[in-house]
Amino acid sequence: MDAMGKPSSGLASGTIADLGNYDQCLAVEAPDGDQDIDFTGQYCTLYLNPRNVPFLKKIIYRFQENGEYVGRADPLKWLSQDLFLGIRIGICIPSKCSGDEIEYMIHTLLGKYGVKPTVTGCELLPHTEKAPLTQTQACMLALIASFTIIIIFASLSEYYMIRKKGQRDRSVSKAYAILRCFSAVENTRKLLSTKAAIDSDAYRLRFIHGLRFFSASWVILGHTYFLIIPTSLAESLNIIKLQEDIWFCLIGNAFPCIQTFLFMSGFLLSYNVLKYLSSYKKTLAIPILLLLARRYIRLTTPIIFLVGLFLVLPRFISGPIYSEYKGIVFGSCEINWWRVLLHINNWVPFFDMCLAHLWYVSVDWQIYSTLWVIPIIMLRRKRVGLGLCCFVIMATAILVGVQTKANGYQPTPIYSDFNVNRTFDAGNEVYFKPFAHAGSFCVGIITGYLVLAYGAYKLTTAAQGTLWAASIAICLLVVFGPHKWFAGAPHEGWDATIYAATHRTAWSVGLGWLTFACATGRGGLLNGLLAWKALIPMSRLSFSAFMLQTVVLISRTMVARDRLVFSHEFMIKDFFATYMITYLCSFFMYLLIEAPIGNLEKMLFMGNITKKETALSGFVKTGSNQQVEHVVTIESIRKKTHRASSCSDLKTVRL
């Protein structure tokens, strides 16, 4: 009885859960007369749904007469949602009882009063006693152990070669070169390296590291607030109250950061292709196939590791929320893991996605593997390529606008909307689809062209000031524009439709001038901040951080023994904790998977190119959203007037 939850206090402020004492319940043992264990404690979750309680409406109406619980805070609207299961209470029952039996007993007692009970998430096995490893878990743990051993051996070998023989930069055997790909010493050195020639693209485009770092941080901040389970919260009505503050848009409307990644993807593709393939005379089939193959490997390999790691996670976590949601959270990956590898994770409903935040990786690959053709067309017909970009921007904007208006979708996800089903419908049908984000990619393509074609064009101080003002105004409008809808205003008007259709592309247009200015030496102090050397290593870890931050946040919720308080004080503290843990784990993931696979992939593809002396340019070594350092490898066209060695022909630009 002591381990059981009770009807919670603070129900009027949205505290609808009491989790009870999970560990104490599972520690209960009842001996029989022979000192054997007769039964143990069993933890279950009980939901009491008061949707049909006759007097509930009368009580709520009395509050509403005094101005309480109106609008989005009206409990009657929340009670009508399918996702609302009821007031949550953690109960501790004997292991000999089943959840169905308890549910039947409570229904017999309370059903006649209109209360619908549901018992779920029953946990019998104490968390100190783990079930046997599954085949997937065993293979994943063996893989991690194998890679760790190889990395340790490679690092010791590297250390020996440096200290004893000084052969870091001398020619080595192919076997040792492969082993060196796994060296933590070498890969850490590359991670921390910030050297770049002042006249190189690596130096000129270094501001991209800052954009990537701050955008990844924005993602983590937004997910810290909203990647939670509502029934595990205390004072959940704070979600509504906080969104009435206009400054909360910086957190609640963090979605433009995704457009930043897509914009950078399009910009770098366009910049590299137009700059380094313009003089290429042979067929483009080989460069394009290698470009897509390398990108797929860079995208997919870390994700394979992440999914495997996620399926091992149940071995190390337990808790009342995990007991209830393990089937939904982990079961989707056990069934739909293959969709992640094929990058079609965004074409299934939200609750069927394996690691739902990877919808972005699928979108990135789908857009990149489709629209790469536009910069190629621009090599010969720039106007046609620019026209295609404009067509894609307009067509996708119209499509999003029509869908939003016809179906009454939210212009951007609004978590305080009582109609939760509408939020998920908008995500499944619009937000998770590639056409909603293609405009940002195309703006990036156009920006890459403008930097190369008009980077030396002289702009007056007044013109630059006007462009800076317009850029800032557009970005501020995108971020703070939805405030009235967050605060509860209806979003059925044409302003909501126009915002839904244009805000993603508009954000990229605002970034377009910033990128143009920084890439052409007009960025000033802002370029100095974004190009700060300290941000470069953090930027190189941000793809791993993007993937891992959701795993960290899911673990936070799953292991919680008590309710989480939805307040700025708690969430900001949790953000910094999540941030530090995420980047620490990202460093280990970089050493374990990302750097070794990247080195091997580069050795495989670029080694063959060098041997064949194929004049290729515009190769981009990248992760899903330019989170990994970019490498543009160019083998110069041999000039007729002189002969150049293959060593001098190969130029590598590290961004």
E-strand ranges in 180-327 read 233-234
Helix H or strand E segment including 91: strand 87-94
Helix H or strand E segment including 309: helix 285-312
Residue 625 pLDDT exceeds 50: no
Q: Which of 596, 553, 559, 539 is nearest to 305 (CA)?
A: 596
| Predicted confidence (pLDDT) per residue in 346-363, tens digit | 999 998 999 999 999 999
Q: Which of 525, 487, 419 is nearest to 242 (CA)?
A: 487
Dist CA 193 CA 566 (whole Å): 40
Domain locations in the chain as residue ranges: 11-123, 135-189, 193-598
Whole-number average pLDDT of the chain: 85
CA neighbours closer than 13 Å in the CB half-sphere of residue 459: 17
| Predicted confidence (pLDDT) per residue in 132-174, tens digit | 788 888 999 999 999 999 999 999 988 877 776 655 555 567 8
Q: What are phi and psi for residue 545, nearest 5 degrees?
A: -65, -40
Indicate the pTM of the whole model: 0.88
Q: Coil, helix or strand for 36?
A: coil
Residue recorded with tokens 């470069």 = 536
Dist CA 363 CA 345 (whole Å): 9
Encoded tokens for 120? 């779920």
Task: Label residue 45 left, alpha or beta by phi (over 0 means left) and psi (-120 to 50 means alpha).
Answer: beta
Q: Coil, helix or strand for 364?
A: helix
The pLDDT value given to residue 419: 76
Q: What are phi and psi for residue 490, nearest 5 degrees?
A: -65, 150
Neighbouring C-beta atoms of residue 560, cutoff 10 Å: 18
Dist CA 8 CA 10 (whole Å): 6
> What percent of the chain has a predicted confidence (pLDDT) above 90?
52
Range of weakest confidence among 66-75, 105-114, 201-210, 515-524:
66-75
pLDDT category, 636, cuts 50, 70, 90?
very low
The pLDDT value given to residue 129: 61
Burial status of residue 245 (CB atoms within 10 A of its CB: 0-12, 13-18, 19 or more) = middle
The pLDDT value given to residue 58: 80
The pLDDT value given to residue 331: 87
| Predicted confidence (pLDDT) per residue in 288-330, tens digit | 888 888 899 989 999 999 999 999 998 888 889 988 888 888 9
Question: Is the distance from CB of 77 to CB of 418 less than 8 angstroms?
Answer: yes
| Predicted confidence (pLDDT) per residue in 31-60, tens digit | 877 778 888 899 999 999 888 887 777 888
Average pLDDT over residues 607-614: 48
| Predicted confidence (pLDDT) per residue in 382-426, tens digit | 999 999 999 999 999 999 999 999 998 999 988 877 777 888 889
Task: Label residue 129 left, alpha or beta by phi (over 0 means left) and psi (-120 to 50 means alpha).
Answer: beta
pLDDT category, 574, cuts 50, 70, 90?
very high
The pLDDT value given to residue 529: 94
Alpha helix positions (H), 428-523: 438-454, 461-480, 483-486, 494-519
Number of residues assigned to the chain:
655
Encoded tokens for 457? 């064009």
Average pLDDT over residues 515-524: 93
The pLDDT value given to residue 166: 58
Dist CA 442 CA 330 (whole Å): 36
